[in-house]
Amino acid sequence: MILSDLLASYAPFFQASATVAVNLLVQSAVLAAAGIVAARCFRRRGAAVESTVLRATLVAVLLVPLASWALAAAGVNGLRVSLPQTTAAARPIVKTIGPDPLPAPRERAPFADFEPTGPALDNSDERQIAPTSPLARPPIGTTPTMTDAGVARPAQAGGPPREATSAITIVYAVSAAVWFVVAGLMLARLAVAHLLMSLTRRRARPADAATLETCRGLATALGVKPPAVLLTSRLPSPCLVGWWRPAILLPDVGSNLLASRPTPRVPRRKPPGGVAGAYEEEGNRGRGEEGNAATAAVGTGVGSVVSVDVLVHELAHLARHDALWNLIGRVAASALWFQPLLTLLVRRGEQVADDVCDDYVVAHGADRADYAAELVEVAGRFQADWPLATAGVGIVTFRSSLGRRVQRILDTSRALSTRTSRATLSAIVLAGAMGTCLSGWLGAGANPVAAEPQADPAKDAAATPNAASSTATAAH
């Protein structure tokens, strides 16, 4: 009875949760499908444009509940999906035991004093048992009642009988419980992964001065604040961790750092139109032979088997704020775990982010064949563990897409894409805002309120004389 009362009292909340979930499922499906198709259509424009489209779609999915609420507050009624309302089962009709109600007084008819002769009327009806009879005396603390079938049974003390919980209320309650439990477990899993990565970062040791100096020069060339560079034996592959205080974690395996390209190439200016352009060697300008020798020997004995290309790749992730975007996408996919299109959208966004960072590396002067061979070597030597794949931004996030990445890197016929032009960005933002408003209109509308059981006038009229008779009996 306690569970039934609890379900009945929270029935409006369960119905509202189910309604929100169904409308979010429809709205996110429309937005995610449109975003995936649009990103595929803009694939020829470059990986940067495709990544911008996917990110705009993710933002639209996150803002669509707010858009629906704003439209509903403005009085706009959209195509909101309405679920059946929760209604309680009707109460059983009970009648109190007592004498029949007295007829209404009427005018005295002629021969009113006439008394008919004959056998006396049988007044032994069960309902006419005197209240003082032991058979009619109810137990202490109960009120005598009788159902429509005429079977007398005592009613429970303490008020009217409880209302039965409807089946649809149970369905809504179970659905809401499954949604919250699964989402909570997935969010907890994500939080544990970030906690483990934070602990790994605290236990890591700083890299040598030469590596830090090289990373600082590359970060300046890419226009980002130099992050910390740490070495740890707990990670199998390089990665970028943290969006508030970022750091590059390198595996500590006892080899040399910066094994390839001893003289890094830094850009003189940002390429126009989002396509990598002219680059020249400025990393060692003005330092002469001593500077070149220092760059060639940088990282000796540091204890990591990575190269300058790895640093450029991770710094490109930092310049694009991929750690923050990945966190937002994973949180959204965990909260809306019942929407597979959103999970596909987030996964595709992470893959395209790796493609953009590969273009950064090639545009920075890396040899295409050497960089592709290094990716294959990293993927074959290191296995990304669960915390790294969940909370970090590695150089080889998806081994399943490694072949496609290698083919893309070796393709010299395509133009490099590292940035999105302002005109294209403005068009994507405008299209995303329109899609958000349209999807918000699909879910705009007032939340339904659980219907109260309506009173039946005929039953109320039939129950009124019985109540009056009970009152008269009690007064007598």
Q: Please write down the HEC assignment for all residues of 343-408.
A: HHHHHHHHHHHHHHHHHHHHHCCCCHHHHHHHHHHHHHHCCCCHHHHHHCEECCCCHHHHHHHHHH
Could you report the per-residue pLDDT of 162-181, keeping only the tens digit for each? Answer: 445 578 888 888 888 999 99
pTM of the complete model? 0.71
Handedness of CA 112, 114, 118, 120 (dihedral sign): positive
Could you report the per-residue pLDDT of 190-228, keeping only the tens digit for each? Answer: 999 999 999 999 999 999 898 899 999 999 999 999 999
Only one residue has tokens 């990393």, namely 283
If you average pLDDT over every residue of the chain, what do you get?
75
Determine the 3-state secondary structure of 232 from DSSP.
strand
Tell me the percentage of the chain whose pLDDT exceeds 90: 43
pLDDT on residue 118: 54
Angstrom distance (rounded) from CA 471 to CA 467: 6
The residue with greater pLDDT, 149 or 387, is: 387
Contact 309, 371 (CB under 8 A): yes
59's CB contacts (< 8 A; 6+ apart) are: 432
Contact 299, 210 (CB under 8 A): yes
> Where in the chain are the domains?
205-421
Q: Tell me: pLDDT of 349 over 70.
A: yes
Only one residue has tokens 């300046």, namely 220
- Residue 107 half-sphere exposure toward CB, CA atoms < 13 A: 2
Handedness of CA 136, 139, 145, 148 (dihedral sign): negative
> Is beta strand 205-206 parallel, antiparallel or unpaired with respect to 247-251?
unpaired
Determine the 3-state secondary structure of 18 from DSSP.
helix
Angstrom distance (rounded) from CA 454 to CA 10: 20
How does residue 11 score in pLDDT terms, banded at 50, 70 and 90? Answer: confident
347's CB contacts (< 8 A; 6+ apart) are: 398
CA angle in degrees (0–180, nearest 5) for 183-188-193: 130
Determine the 3-state secondary structure of 303 from DSSP.
coil
128's CB contacts (< 8 A; 6+ apart) are: 99, 100
Could you report the per-residue pLDDT of 129-141, keeping only the tens digit for each? Answer: 445 555 555 555 5
Contact 323, 277 (CB under 8 A): no
Q: Tell me: pLDDT of 461 over 70.
A: no
Handedness of CA 286, 289, 292, 293 (dihedral sign): negative
- Residue 194 half-sphere exposure toward CB, CA atoms < 13 A: 16
Tokens of 426: 């403005």
Strand partners, 41: none
303's CB contacts (< 8 A; 6+ apart) are: 231, 252, 253, 254, 255, 257
The residue with greater pLDDT, 374 or 1, is: 374
pLDDT on residue 105: 58
How does residue 393 score in pLDDT terms, banded at 50, 70 and 90? Answer: confident
Could you report the per-residue pLDDT of 256-304, keeping only the tens digit for each? Answer: 444 444 444 444 334 333 333 333 333 333 333 333 333 333 343 334 4
